[in-house]
Amino acid sequence: MNNITTKLFLFFIAIIMLSCTQEKLYEKPNVLFIISDDMRTELNCYGADYIHSPNIDNLAKNGVLFTNAYVQQAVCSASRASFLSGVRPNTTGTDYPYSKYFMNEFWPAHPMLAEYFEQNGYYTHTFGKIHHGPHDNLKTEHYFPKTGLNTGSYYALPENIEKGGKKGRGKETPPYECADVPDEAYRDGLIAKEAVKIISQQKENDKPFFLAVGFVKPHLPFNAPKKYWDLYEESEIPLSPNQYHPENSPSYSTNHYALANYAGLNYYDSPDHVLPDNYQRKLIHAYAACISFIDAQVGKLIESLKETGKYDNTIIVFISDHGWHLGDQQMWGKTTNFENSTLAPLIVSAPGYEKGERSTRLVEYVDLYATLCDLADIEIPEYTEGTSFKPLMENPDREWKTASFSQFPRGRKMEGYSIRTADYRYTEWRVRGEKVDSIELYDHRKDAIESVNIAYKKENESIVAELSQRLNAGWKDALPKGVLNNSNNPVAPPHVAYVDEKNRPKPRKEETLSFTTGDLNDKWEQAEGYQLSVKNGLLHIDIEHPANYWQKVSIKGLNVRAHKNSQLIMNYKTMDNTPLSFKYIAVSNGNWSQWLTRELPVTNGELKELSIDLSEAMEQYEKEYETMEYITQFVFCINPQEEYKGSLVLKSLTIW
């Protein structure tokens, strides 16, 4: 009897142990989702051998590195709205910033990535810059420090903090900073520290976790502790091999605002619009230091995972939100359809999958939502527009998508739609989504740096026709063989910027811009062909441009209540007898009305006051979007349809 009892006891113990083993075997994986900001594939593991990125390189050795991962729109808000929701920009309706439609209609009905994991039983926590502005609706509180430790929101050196004023940065602050300070003097150091704390708390937690950690570097300003600058010899830093605007490419395929928002040289005040070599090396040195700074923070996160014993069962993803031009195509910034903007890093390390592999197959950032669900054995929502690349984690060389798709707008009337195949990049610039204004074609077999647009060469007519057909057929036509996507999402309405009305500053009844100091304030953004300077309390606008030249001066940061009697009042003078055609647009939360025209009477050097009725601008705006409630920006250009050289002088501008 005792033997039977003992055998039964041992049998039940074995059953329990087997059950526990099986449960352990099918334990849900954790997820550590790491997002950098504005980081192109300028990493050692991607071939930039001058870069010090040992921790990200080690991550690549323990996972799969994707060499051809493309974002769907190369600006923070649009890209993040896409990959965090699993749908494309035409579905989110977001350009820059998040749109009213995305915030009020799409998001409430479609959980973002972290929210979806929480709904599926995960402990979720987010840190730093995940979304562009708002935060996920989670049980835990999002962590994002407003400043560094005992420093400012962007800078650590007292002189730069002072120059930054209330906004923390601006045209008086430099585009980079080298400060002999600890990591925590900048926000990214604090973000890593808080994330490490939360990771360490998971040691005794049996619940799977999803942690999203977003770093703000290497976004401008390129600020990093001195020890990361010291990793580089500035004189040895390579420069872009393609520093000029692509031959035969339309002027609007690039833009040049990024460096113009800071002190120092930029596109507008450099000979041939190319920065001097020594200044380029300084900027790239700063960018590289920021990459190494972020790499160190990534190392802290991974080391913490190992210390908790959770590393072996954690999916680790490292991405950016898009790429960046480091002087390439005459640009310093993002916001293009070129390779430098749309190509971005993607490294995935997952338990049980390939390690130290590289996949050259085309993947898209919109695929991340479906892929993480698939790797975690969570049902993929049917509305998502990405494709899980889990099969590439198993076999990195298998056949996959035949193309990736990106897009970028120029204003609200024109958008460039781009298709990237294994051999080509083809872009169509469409006015109002229909009429094609211009096209671009780059052969990556012969011109990987995209220096010459060959779309208009007769011998390329057939490839242009083929790629145009594939672009218009769309992303579903480029899916891997045997893969279907049944999403049927409506196209979002035209972008109208979301504004948190609860926290919005009260709009003014009127706003007057005068020029009492020697410098322009941060509201003014000049354009090529317009030289702005303040002399004796007057703004001198010296103009020189060719015919059909639509570059514009922009006045940003306005907050004036719009009404049916809104006016622009100009105190101005002309310096010669040439009539001036003043073209203008009233802008509300990033949305533009149509160009309108007012002829400025000649004043022969005498100051005159002129009122311009803005009601027509508001009527046009309402036809395309909604009732204009605020005027947040005003743009203008002078005599754009003809070759012109002359001046306009302003004493003040008032909008009411």
Task: Compute, in degrees rounded to 10, the torsion defined by CA atoms 530, 532, 536, 537.
Answer: 110
Exactly one of 45, 76, 290, 373 is catalytic; which is it?
76
Count of CA atoms in the C-beta half-sphere (13 A) of 363: 32
Tell me, what's the pLDDT at 24? 45
User: Does residue 75 lie within any of the structural domains?
Assistant: yes
Q: Residues 234, 94: one domain?
A: yes
Question: Final residue of a domain: which of 394, 415, 445?
Answer: 394
Q: What range does the domain containing 119 cover?
A: 25-394
User: Does residue 13 lie within any of the structural domains?
Assistant: no
8 Å CB contact between 570 and 650: yes
Exactly one of 132, 219, 322, 545 is catalytic; which is it?
132
Is the pLDDT confidence value at 443 over 70? Answer: yes
State how far Cα 619 lies from the chain centre.
Answer: 32
For residue 646, the domain's CATH number is: 2.60.120.430
8 Å CB contact between 309 and 329: no
Q: Residues 30, 169: one domain?
A: yes
Q: Residues 225, 77: one domain?
A: yes
Q: Residues 378, 517: one domain?
A: no
Q: Residues 343, 215: one domain?
A: yes
Question: Final residue of a domain: which of 347, 374, 394?
Answer: 394
User: Does residue 497 lie within any of the structural domains?
Assistant: no
Q: Does the annotation mark 76 as catalytic? A: yes
8 Å CB contact between 45 and 298: no
Contact residues for 424 (Cβ-Cβ < 8 A; gap 6+)? 441, 442, 443, 444, 463, 467
DSSP β-bridge partners for residue 631: 560
Q: Residues 385, 531: one domain?
A: no
Tell me, what's the pLDDT at 480? 98
**Gap between the Cα atoms of 343 and 41, Å rounded:** 7
Neighbours of 504 (CB within 10 A): 10
Neighbours of 352 (CB within 10 A): 11
User: Does residue 558 lie within any of the structural domains?
Assistant: yes
Tell me, what's the pLDDT at 2? 56
Cα angle 333, 334, 336; round to 5: 125
**Gap between the Cα atoms of 493 and 500, Å rounded:** 19
8 Å CB contact between 214 and 130: yes
Of residues 71, 75, 65, the one with CA closest to residue 43: 65
Count of CA atoms in the C-beta half-sphere (13 A) of 132: 24
What 3-state class would DSSP assign to 28? Answer: coil
User: Does residue 492 lie within any of the structural domains?
Assistant: no
User: Does residue 196 lie within any of the structural domains?
Assistant: yes
Tell me, what's the pLDDT at 231? 98
Q: Residues 387, 519: one domain?
A: no
Tell me, what's the pLDDT at 578? 84
Burial-class residue 302 by CB neighbours within 10 Å (0-12, 13-18, 19+).
Answer: buried
User: Does residue 106 lie within any of the structural domains?
Assistant: yes
| Tens of pLDDT, residues 13-71 | 544 444 444 444 458 999 999 999 999 999 999 999 999 999 999 999 999 999 999 99
pTM listed for this prediction: 0.89
Q: Does the annotation mark 132 as catalytic? A: yes
**Gap between the Cα atoms of 613 and 569, Å rounded:** 9
Determine the residue type at 290. C
Tell me, what's the pLDDT at 517? 65
DSSP β-bridge partners for residue 558: none
Tell me, what's the pLDDT at 269? 84
Q: How many domains does the chain have?
A: 2
Of residues 326, 373, 332, the one with CA closest to residue 118: 373
Q: How large is the average pLDDT for residues 264-284?
A: 94
DSSP-assigned letters across all residues of 207-230: S-EEEEEE--TTSSSEEEEHHHHT
State how far Cα 29 lies from the chain centre.
Answer: 29
Tell me, what's the pLDDT at 336? 98
8 Å CB contact between 646 and 578: yes
Count of CA atoms in the C-beta half-sphere (13 A) of 410: 21
8 Å CB contact between 421 and 477: no
**Gap between the Cα atoms of 654 and 570, Å rounded:** 7
User: Does residue 603 lie within any of the structural domains?
Assistant: yes
Question: Final residue of a domain: which of 394, 423, 457?
Answer: 394
Q: Which two tokens stand for residue 133?
A: 């502005």
Mean pLDDT for the chain overall: 93
What 3-state class would DSSP assign to 646? Answer: strand
Q: Residues 517, 379: one domain?
A: no
Query: Token pair 């300077």 is at which residue?
Result: 533
Of residues 124, 440, 115, the one with CA closest to residue 251: 440
**Gap between the Cα atoms of 523 and 207, Å rounded:** 49
Query: What share of residues in the chain are helix, strand, coil (percent, to 5)?
Result: 30, 25, 45
What 3-state class would DSSP assign to 47? Answer: coil
| Tens of pLDDT, residues 613-645 | 999 999 988 888 888 999 999 999 999 989 999
| Tens of pLDDT, residues 573-620 | 998 888 899 999 999 887 887 889 999 999 989 999 999 999 999 998
Q: Residues 385, 515: one domain?
A: no
For residue 378, the domain's CATH number is: 3.40.720.10
Q: Residues 170, 33: one domain?
A: yes
Tell me, what's the pLDDT at 373? 98
